[in-house]
Protein backbone atom coordinates (compact mmCIF):
# COMPACT_ATOMS: atom_id res chain seq x y z
CA UNK A 1 0.00 0.00 0.00
CA UNK A 2 2.74 2.41 0.96
CA UNK A 3 4.17 2.48 -2.53
CA UNK A 4 0.83 3.19 -4.24
CA UNK A 5 1.39 6.43 -6.14
CA UNK A 6 -1.76 6.34 -8.26
CA UNK A 7 -3.97 9.46 -7.99
CA UNK A 8 -6.92 7.46 -6.64
CA UNK A 9 -4.81 5.10 -4.49
CA UNK A 10 -6.33 2.11 -6.22
CA UNK A 11 -3.86 -0.38 -4.74
CA UNK A 12 -4.77 0.78 -1.23
CA UNK A 13 -8.47 0.31 -2.03
CA UNK A 14 -7.80 -3.13 -3.53
CA UNK A 15 -5.86 -4.35 -0.49
CA UNK A 16 -8.42 -2.97 1.96
CA UNK A 17 -11.16 -4.77 0.04
CA UNK A 18 -9.29 -8.06 -0.50
CA UNK A 19 -7.51 -8.49 2.84
CA UNK A 20 -9.71 -6.60 5.29
CA UNK A 21 -13.03 -6.92 3.47
CA UNK A 22 -13.59 -3.17 3.71
CA UNK A 23 -15.67 -2.02 0.75
CA UNK A 24 -16.03 1.40 -0.87
CA UNK A 25 -13.35 3.34 1.01
CA UNK A 26 -13.27 7.05 0.24
CA UNK A 27 -10.13 8.69 -1.13
CA UNK A 28 -9.79 10.63 2.13
CA UNK A 29 -9.68 7.38 4.14
CA UNK A 30 -7.26 5.79 1.66
CA UNK A 31 -4.95 8.79 2.13
CA UNK A 32 -5.21 8.34 5.91
CA UNK A 33 -4.34 4.65 5.59
CA UNK A 34 -1.32 5.60 3.48
CA UNK A 35 -0.24 8.12 6.12
CA UNK A 36 -0.54 5.46 8.83
CA UNK A 37 1.63 3.12 6.75
CA UNK A 38 4.21 5.89 6.51
CA UNK A 39 4.21 6.57 10.26
CA UNK A 40 4.50 2.87 11.13
CA UNK A 41 7.28 2.32 8.59
CA UNK A 42 9.26 5.33 9.77
CA UNK A 43 8.93 4.26 13.41
CA UNK A 44 10.03 0.70 12.63
CA UNK A 45 13.07 1.98 10.73
CA UNK A 46 14.00 4.30 13.60
CA UNK A 47 13.76 1.44 16.10
CA UNK A 48 16.03 -0.70 13.91
CA UNK A 49 18.47 2.22 13.56
CA UNK A 50 18.51 2.68 17.34
CA UNK A 51 19.38 -0.99 17.79
CA UNK A 52 22.17 -0.80 15.22
CA UNK A 53 23.60 2.35 16.80
CA UNK A 54 23.39 0.75 20.25
CA UNK A 55 25.52 -2.15 19.05
CA UNK A 56 27.93 0.19 17.26
CA UNK A 57 28.26 2.23 20.45
CA UNK A 58 28.90 -0.87 22.55
CA UNK A 59 31.71 -2.03 20.26
CA UNK A 60 33.16 1.46 19.87
CA UNK A 61 32.25 1.94 16.22
CA UNK A 62 29.86 4.90 16.58
CA UNK A 63 32.66 7.46 16.71
CA UNK A 64 32.44 7.97 20.46
CA UNK A 65 34.96 5.33 21.52
CA UNK A 66 32.50 2.74 22.87
CA UNK A 67 31.37 1.97 26.37
CA UNK A 68 34.88 1.36 27.70
CA UNK A 69 36.90 3.81 25.63
CA UNK A 70 37.41 7.44 26.47
CA UNK A 71 38.02 8.73 22.96
CA UNK A 72 35.94 11.46 21.42
CA UNK A 73 34.81 11.67 17.81
CA UNK A 74 37.57 14.11 16.97
CA UNK A 75 40.42 11.79 17.88
CA UNK A 76 38.83 8.46 16.94
CA UNK A 77 40.27 6.66 13.95
CA UNK A 78 37.07 6.17 12.01
CA UNK A 79 36.92 2.91 10.09
CA UNK A 80 34.22 1.60 7.81
CA UNK A 81 31.77 -0.68 9.57
CA UNK A 82 29.65 -3.15 7.63
CA UNK A 83 26.35 -4.20 9.18
CA UNK A 84 24.80 -7.34 7.72
CA UNK A 85 21.04 -7.14 7.27
CA UNK A 86 18.81 -10.02 6.28
CA UNK A 87 15.24 -9.92 5.17
CA UNK A 88 12.86 -8.76 2.52
CA UNK A 89 11.78 -5.78 4.61
CA UNK A 90 15.15 -4.13 3.95
CA UNK A 91 15.76 -5.47 0.45
CA UNK A 92 12.23 -5.20 -0.91
CA UNK A 93 10.73 -2.18 0.82
CA UNK A 94 12.36 0.98 -0.53
CA UNK A 95 10.68 3.35 1.95
CA UNK A 96 11.82 1.30 4.94
CA UNK A 97 15.38 1.23 3.59
CA UNK A 98 15.30 5.00 2.98
CA UNK A 99 13.94 5.73 6.46
CA UNK A 100 16.54 3.45 8.05
CA UNK A 101 19.41 5.28 6.35
CA UNK A 102 17.82 8.61 7.28
CA UNK A 103 17.56 7.59 10.95
CA UNK A 104 21.14 6.32 11.07
CA UNK A 105 22.34 9.64 9.67
CA UNK A 106 20.25 11.57 12.18
CA UNK A 107 21.51 9.54 15.16
CA UNK A 108 25.16 9.18 14.16
CA UNK A 109 25.58 12.44 12.25
CA UNK A 110 26.48 12.69 8.58
CA UNK A 111 30.24 12.33 9.13
CA UNK A 112 29.95 9.07 11.04
CA UNK A 113 26.99 7.61 9.11
CA UNK A 114 28.95 7.63 5.87
CA UNK A 115 31.30 5.05 7.45
CA UNK A 116 28.46 2.63 8.27
CA UNK A 117 27.50 0.36 5.37
CA UNK A 118 24.32 -1.71 5.51
CA UNK A 119 24.82 -4.87 3.46
CA UNK A 120 22.02 -7.32 2.66
CA UNK A 121 22.98 -10.96 3.25
CA UNK A 122 21.32 -14.28 2.61
CA UNK A 123 21.03 -17.00 5.24
CA UNK A 124 21.97 -14.71 8.11
CA UNK A 125 20.82 -17.17 10.81
CA UNK A 126 22.86 -19.97 9.21
CA UNK A 127 25.96 -17.80 9.03
CA UNK A 128 25.41 -16.58 12.61
CA UNK A 129 25.01 -20.15 13.88
CA UNK A 130 28.20 -21.19 12.08
CA UNK A 131 30.16 -18.27 13.56
CA UNK A 132 28.83 -19.02 17.05
CA UNK A 133 29.69 -22.71 16.70
CA UNK A 134 33.17 -21.84 15.44
CA UNK A 135 33.80 -19.43 18.32
CA UNK A 136 32.59 -21.98 20.88
CA UNK A 137 34.63 -24.71 19.23
CA UNK A 138 37.78 -22.59 19.47
CA UNK A 139 37.13 -21.77 23.13
CA UNK A 140 36.56 -25.44 23.95
CA UNK A 141 39.73 -26.57 22.14
CA UNK A 142 41.80 -23.85 23.83
CA UNK A 143 40.51 -24.75 27.28
CA UNK A 144 41.12 -28.48 26.68
CA UNK A 145 44.69 -27.92 25.48
CA UNK A 146 45.68 -25.81 28.46
CA UNK A 147 46.48 -27.82 31.61
Q: In angstroms, rounded to a whole number, what is the distance separating the alpha carbons of residues 86 and 63?
A: 25
List for the chain the helix, strand, coil content (%; round to 5).
65, 5, 30
Residue 33 has pLDDT above 60, yes or no: yes
- Nearest CA-CA partner of 108 in 78, 85, 75: 78
Cβ-proximal residues to 33 (8 Å cutoff; 6+ apart), any chain: 1, 12, 16, 25
- pLDDT computed for residue 133 by the predictor: 80
Q: In angstroms, rounded to a whole number, what is the distance separating the alpha carbons of residues 103 and 47?
A: 9
Look up the pTM and report it: 0.74
Q: What are phi and psi of 119, to 5 degrees?
A: -120, 120
- pLDDT computed for residue 68 by the predictor: 45
Cβ-proximal residues to 128 (8 Å cutoff; 6+ apart), any chain: none
**Average pLDDT, stretch 89-108?**
94
Percent of the chain with pLDDT over 70: 83
Amino acid sequence: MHEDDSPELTEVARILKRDLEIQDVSLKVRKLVLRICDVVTRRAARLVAAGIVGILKKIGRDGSGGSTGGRSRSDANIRRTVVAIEGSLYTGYAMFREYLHEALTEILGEDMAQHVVLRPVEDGPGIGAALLAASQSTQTVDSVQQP
